[in-house]
Amino acid sequence: DAGITQSPRHKVTETGTPVTLRCHQTENHRYMYWYRQDPGHGLRLIHYSYGVKDTDKGEVSDGYSVSRSKTEDFLLTLESATSSQTSVYFCAIRAGTGRFGETQYFGPGTRLLVL
């Protein structure tokens, strides 16, 4: 499982409230990613990080911000949650070189419901 945990695993919140999801890894990987999964869309990239304090936008970044102050933690924040952000959120790390280089491994996911 590449030592990736996500918290919380489930969350119900109300429209307009801030929400922070946490991704934690134990293997010192440089690259970390946040995706959302919605029916009919597969997984879509929200933001990613290529090092401490180095982040960039993905395909569906509007309404989301991220921070990475330590190698092991990558936080995804919904500043003011909307119903359209109801989704399953996955964190991933990217393995380095070697047999499985460039491979992404995923956390268990967080199911978020915005009422």
Binding site for other proteins (CB under 8 A): 31, 33, 40-45, 48, 50, 58, 88, 90, 92, 94, 100, 102-106, 108-109
Nearest approach in angstroms of CB 76 to other proteins is 17
Q: Which is nearer to other proteins, 8 or 108 (CB)?
A: 108
Nearest approach in angstroms of CB 80 to other proteins is 26
For residues 58 and 70, give the distance between their C-alpha atoms in angstroms, rounded to a whole number.
Answer: 21
Are 53 and 75 in contact by the 8 Å Cβ rule? The answer is no
Partners of 89 in the β-ladder = 36, 110
- What does the DSSP assignment read for 48-73? EEEETTEEEE-TT-TTEEEEEEETTE
For residues 23 and 93, give the distance between their C-alpha atoms in angstroms, rounded to a whole number.
Answer: 10
Nearest approach in angstroms of CB 98 to other proteins is 12
Nearest approach in angstroms of CB 16 to other proteins is 27
Q: Which is nearer to other proteins, 80 or 104 (CB)?
A: 104
Q: Is 49 exposed, middle or buried (0-12, 13-18, 19+ CB in 10 A)?
A: buried
Q: Which is nearer to other proteins, 14 or 56 (CB)?
A: 56
Q: Which is nearer to other proteins, 43 or 63 (CB)?
A: 43
